Structure 1
């Protein structure tokens, strides 16, 4: 059974705009967050630098575990603070394959840099503290150089997905 309801084109257009304008504001806020607030990235890099430099102190096993626990707690704190400062709460479906690819790529690049720079500084004639500081500096720098563009790339896809969904809905 098909029910026919008279449709006013002007009213339908206003309804569509009433929906679309807040959606555009959400995309603007997400892009502003990705492009304008690298504070969490720099805080993460600073915490990583301190952790990697501390590993060069030749800590006992319990000291390494304590440093690792502190590292994880500080990273979690940065994530919580950054999430609370964001005015937009995105549903998990807003994260697409680009977000996952950026996260996994960041893990591979940063982890590979930590391991590779650790191997390279072992060959240096300096003491473990200098080698550890070099390794921490290289690793944190690579993290920042990768994370900022990768985040922009991952977030840049959200606006296009929303417009594609609206266009797909128009064909019905």
Structure 2
């Protein structure tokens, strides 16, 4: 049994746009909230710089432990403040593997920059070497964070399907 109904193309297009525009707004808001805003990004970068510069000063074991505890505490406070302010809460299934891959890639890049800067600054005094390592690590973090967030947010916008697969499905 086949049921045929006439479809008004213009009305169908209007209905699609009425649905699509709010959906696009959700994705736009997700892209804006993916990084947490400039304040969170720069706050994290400042904390990272202070931590890396402090650890580079060759502190005693208890000093490094205290420094790590303070860093984790301040970073946790920054995360809690950011999550309370966030207006966007997505279901956990809408956070694709690309988000984890992007975070991991940024971490690997920053870690690589710190290790490379460590090898290049070995002949320098510890204070200067620590400052250079901290600056290099934070610079790589700031330069790689925005592209990584855009790449991860594109997966949410496309529903996790690569652009080539979407076009092939049409």
Q: TM-score normalised to the size of structure 2?
A: 0.78
Where do 1:77-156 residues align within 5 Å?
77-124=77-124, 127-156=125-154
Kept in 2: contact 1:38–1:148 (CA 8 A): no
Kept in 2: contact 1:57–1:129 (CA 8 A): yes
Range moving further from structure 2, 14-23 or 34-43: 14-23
Mark the CA change 1:161 to 1:17 in structure 2 (over 3 Å): closer, same or farther: same
Distance 1:162 1:16 in 2: 21
Distance 1:141 1:150 in 2: 14
Distance 1:35 1:50 in 2: 21
1:27 equivalent in alignment to 2:27: yes
Structure 1 counterpart of 2:47: 47
| Alpha-carbon offset, residue 36 of structure 1 | 8.6
Structure 1 residues without counterparts, runs of 5 or longer: 1-6
Distance 2:126 2:160 in 1: 51
Distance 2:150 2:45 in 1: 17
| Alpha-carbon offset, residue 61 of structure 1 | 0.5
- 1:117-160 per-residue CA deviation (whole Å, 9 max, x = no partner) reads 11211123xx2111111111011101111112111111122121
| Alpha-carbon offset, residue 103 of structure 1 | 0.9
Structure 2 counterpart of 1:72: 72
Kept in 2: contact 1:114–1:139 (CA 8 A): yes
Q: TM-score normalised to the size of structure 1?
A: 0.77
| Alpha-carbon offset, residue 9 of structure 1 | 7.2
Structure 2 residues without counterparts, runs of 5 or longer: none
Range moving further from structure 2, 98-107 or 71-80: 71-80
Distance 2:35 2:122 in 1: 37
Distance 1:85 1:106 in 2: 24
